[in-house]
């Protein structure tokens, strides 16, 4: 299957689905499409709640595209590349609708950022998480504010420093990333549909005000995440990172 980002509206529930054949990694063009769909459904009066999911049956999201990462050779392109997930996170926090994330598999880097930026996340028992950025000489600078906001400083730093270690879905639930964890995808989907249906019948103005309250004190994130993207964009040009990426590619 080719990569895609699609959306669908049913009974007040807007569902956005993204897919990429490389473990749902996200190239820049796909991240931009995801932002467009989030903004479109956020501004659609017929949509009361948004469900965000990925396709396939393996990873939920493997983060940013590694193919694009290795091609970066200047500061400008580096900042643009790392601004991809920044734009998605900012679109999610600004959307005036609750966003429910359906996490059916492992999440790495930017995938953890998406889960953290969701207002509510359901996951399966195999939806382990990892912030692996330090292993290639950079860091989770862009997703950091979202992860720390959702899981707390201690959990964020544990993921950041122990960058090669997977943490289980149950660990992520205990730290507040996931609202609930299910043994099967079918059970999770039932829960997602049930909550989305209830929210679609709720007062949209009340939900809008609750979301505004929940994301209070994040109005500076447009600037903050752009600054963080510039840090990563600089580090990715270092000899350390280029060597680390080269070793990773030869595994």
**Cβ–Cβ under 8 Å, residues 89 and 142:** yes
Cα–Cα distances (Å) from 20 to 29, 37, 98, 153, 226, in that order, read: 11, 16, 25, 31, 25
Residue range 78-100, pLDDT digits in tens: 999 999 999 999 999 999 999 99
Residue 170: both structure tokens together: 């149950």
At 215 the pLDDT is: 98
CB 117 within 8 A of CB 148: no
Q: What domains can be seen in the chain, in order of their start residue?
A: 4-200 (3.90.226.10)
Question: What is residue 176's three-state secondary structure?
Answer: coil
> What pLDDT score was predicted for residue 249?
61
Under-50 pLDDT residues of the chain = none
Distance CA 129, CA 160 (A): 11
245 CB contacts (<8 Å, ≥6 apart)? 66, 69, 70, 136
How would DSSP label each residue in 185-231? HHHHHHHHHHHHHHHHTS-HHHHHHHHHHHTTT-TTHHHHHHHHHHH
H helix and E strand count, the chain: 11, 8
pLDDT at 251: 64
């Amino acid at each position: 299957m080719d990569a895609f980002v699609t959306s669908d509206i049913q009974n007040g529930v807007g569902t956005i689905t993204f897919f990429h054949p490389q473990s749902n990694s996200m190239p820049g063009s796909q991240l931009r499409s995801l932002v467009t769909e989030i903004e479109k459904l956020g501004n659609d009066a017929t949509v009361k709640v948004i469900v965000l999911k990925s396709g396939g049956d393996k990873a939920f999201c493997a983060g940013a595209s590694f193919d694009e990462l290795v091609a970066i050779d200047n500061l400008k392109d580096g900042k643009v590349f790392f601004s991809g997930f920044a734009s998605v996170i900012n679109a999610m926090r600004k959307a005036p609708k609750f966003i429910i994330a359906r996490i059916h598999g492992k999440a790495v880097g930017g995938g953890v950022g998406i889960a953290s930026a969701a207002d509510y996340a359901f996951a399966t028992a195999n939806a382990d998480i990892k912030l692996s950025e330090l292993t290639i000489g950079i860091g989770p600078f862009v997703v950091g504010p979202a992860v720390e906001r959702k899981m707390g400083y201690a959990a964020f730093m544990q993921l950041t420093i122990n960058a090669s270690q997977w943490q289980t879905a149950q660990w992520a639930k205990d730290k507040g990333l996931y609202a609930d964890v299910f043994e099967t995808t079918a059970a999770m989907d039932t829960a997602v549909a049930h909550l989305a249906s209830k929210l679609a019948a709720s007062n949209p103005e009340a939900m809008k005000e609750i979301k505004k309250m929940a994301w209070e004190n994040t109005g500076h994130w447009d600037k903050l995440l752009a600054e963080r993207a510039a840090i990563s964009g600089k580090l990715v040009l270092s000899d350390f990172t280029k060597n680390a990426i080269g070793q990773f590619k030869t595994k």
